Amino acid sequence: MLWLALRFSHLALELAAVLQAAGLPLVIRQQAGSRQRVFDANPAARQLGVQPGMGMKQAQLLIPELVALDRDPLREEEGLLRLAHWAMRFTSQVVLQPPAGLLLEVGASRRLFGDLERLHRQVMESCAELGHAPASAIAPNPQAAWWLSAGPRATVVTRPRELRKALAALPLHSLELPARQQQALRRMGLRTLGDCLRLPRAGLARRFGPEWIARLDRALGQRADPRPCFQPPTSFDAQLELPAEVNHCAGLLFGLRRLLQELGGALLGADAAIDRLTLTLEYADRPPDPIGLQLLRPQRDPEQLLELWRDRLEREKLPAPVLGLRLVSADFQVADHGNRSLFGADTGCAGGTTLWERLQARLGRERVRQPGVLADHRPESAWSLVASVEGAPAGQRPLWLLDPPQPLRQGPEGPWLDGPLRLQQGPERIESGWWQGRQVRRDYFIASDRHGARLWLFRQADDRSWYLHGRFG
């Protein structure tokens, strides 16, 4: 197994997308006893001397125009859950590491993405698209990966025999020990984890307790480290505050892409798909405006869904600047993987269905119709213009029907059309329509003429007369 740790050290700041985009000096503050302190600061504030842990009064003296937001643990928890949804596009095993971390088991995903380096790169690029810049590390167990992710650069350790050397270089502050334990270790002259590993094990256990030794054993791979995995949801509901007011629908696509990436990960993790989505536009002085998107068949590809939304939003005109988005999809459906050909293409008409969905998204569902079958045995009554793709009728039916059917004369050996017709299949009795006053009683046959063309004939059950009703291609 290989675990990828993602440490979102600036999650609280990254969730404040609106003020981050403005480029203002910004800090997240939190209550520490009777004083307010800086929990995190953006680059603009750090350049002017503000650092995490600093008192808020001192920070405001340094930067009078400093913007401060209260830390919101609930919002951070929701943000981490949304990131877990997104991460399931890379692996089915995602572990939450509160308050701001994820652990992904990626050993089984290497072949799917090509190799470990490519997978790691795709994860980090996708994080950047979502507005996050986590620290990362890869190791054979989750505890080691998490500790290594606190280092100054991304560390990748794939072999257990290299793990002890990589862990030994870690400074003690990266192990997230209680302050009293860190002070005790420093008084003993210890600065790195390697210094601790050189001490007698029994002495460490007496001073720091069995839990510290157990964590150390898990990081070294000497003890199992089972962890409960994040369970994929059965619905999706996420909100996004836009970094600036948006006055046209094309400007909504950037934020919508982020929400669809999270939705796509949740759907992959649940092995599910969706056929309905609702995008709610949130304004400052107007009630929210929901916009629906109905799909012909369940999907889960974020890029295809984004294209459909692009076409759908072209029909909208914003009545006011949009401040936020909310994307909702209830009731995930079990994904239908279907059969694929030898070369990987779907056996169905996926391309045609995608075009059909895009036309409906752009022009409106009620404006795009195609001939579809109805539950009626009478050929002339078995079709109608429908808004969704339907299956083909049972049995062999020609696409070319004659209206009205062409009478055929009776030859010495059967029906005649420029020569005798040879019956190949039939009869198929169709008797229906009596309740509508248009009853038919016919026996249908598939026949061929002297040129080999296939024809669809019927004989009236009443007078035994023959008619040509269709031609096969």
Average pLDDT, the chain: 84
pLDDT value for 125: 93
Residue 464 lies in a domain: yes
- Same domain, yes or no: 214 and 98: yes
Last residue of a domain, one of 314, 334, 354: 334
The count of structural domains within the chain is 4
| Band of residue 96 on the pLDDT scale cut at 50, 70, 90 | very high
Ranked by mean pLDDT, the top range of 191-195, 200-204, 354-358, 394-398 is 191-195
- Same domain, yes or no: 83 and 212: yes
From 104, 333, 93, select the one nearest 231 (Cα to Cα). 93
Last residue of a domain, one of 313, 334, 355: 334
pLDDT value for 21: 53
pLDDT value for 344: 43
Q: What share of the chain is helix, strand, coil (3-state, %, to 5)?
A: 35, 30, 35
Of the listed ranges 32-46, 189-203, 393-407, the one predicted with least confidence: 393-407
- Same domain, yes or no: 148 and 59: no
- Same domain, yes or no: 255 and 207: no
Residues 117-167: pLDDT tens digits? 999 999 999 999 888 999 999 999 999 999 999 988 888 999 888 999 999
> Looking at per-residue confidence, does 428 or 350 come out higher?
428
- Same domain, yes or no: 21 and 37: yes
- Same domain, yes or no: 87 and 201: yes
Q: Is the previous residue joined to 404 through a cis bond, with omega within 30 degrees of 0?
A: yes
- Same domain, yes or no: 48 and 94: no
- Same domain, yes or no: 167 and 257: no
Last residue of a domain, one of 53, 73, 93: 73
| Band of residue 316 on the pLDDT scale cut at 50, 70, 90 | confident
Residue 394 lies in a domain: no
Q: What is the span of the domain harbouring residue 35?
A: 11-73
CB contact at 8 A, 156 and 38: no
pLDDT value for 347: 40
How many percent of the chain have pLDDT more than 70? Answer: 86
- State if pTM tops 0.85: no
- Same domain, yes or no: 67 and 108: no
pLDDT value for 105: 95
What's the mean pLDDT in 312-319? Answer: 85
User: Can you give the CATH number for the domain in which 68 is found?
Assistant: 3.40.1170.60
- Same domain, yes or no: 185 and 313: no
How far, in Å, are 65, 381, 441 from residue 429 at the CA level?
A: 86, 16, 7
Q: Is the pLDDT of residue 449 over 80?
A: yes
Q: State the Cα–Cα distance between residues 267 and 92, nearest whole angstrom.
A: 11
Of the listed ranges 285-294, 316-325, 389-398, the one predicted with least confidence: 389-398
| Band of residue 83 on the pLDDT scale cut at 50, 70, 90 | very high
pLDDT value for 94: 94
What's the mean pLDDT in 428-455? Answer: 84
CB contact at 8 A, 51 and 41: yes
> Looking at per-residue confidence, does 127 or 398 come out higher?
127
User: Can you give the CATH number for the domain in which 302 is found?
Assistant: 3.30.1490.100
pLDDT value for 163: 92
pLDDT value for 87: 92
Residue 136 lies in a domain: yes
What's the mean pLDDT in 62-70? Answer: 91
- Same domain, yes or no: 215 and 240: no
What's the mean pLDDT in 10-23? Answer: 74
- Same domain, yes or no: 101 and 204: yes
| Band of residue 395 on the pLDDT scale cut at 50, 70, 90 | low
Q: Is the pLDDT of residue 245 over 50?
A: yes
Q: Is the pLDDT of residue 267 over 70?
A: yes
Residues 339-383: pLDDT tens digits? 554 444 444 444 445 666 767 666 666 666 666 656 556 676 666
| DSSP characters over 126-163 | HHHHTT---EEEEESSHHHHHHHTTSSS-EE--SHHHH
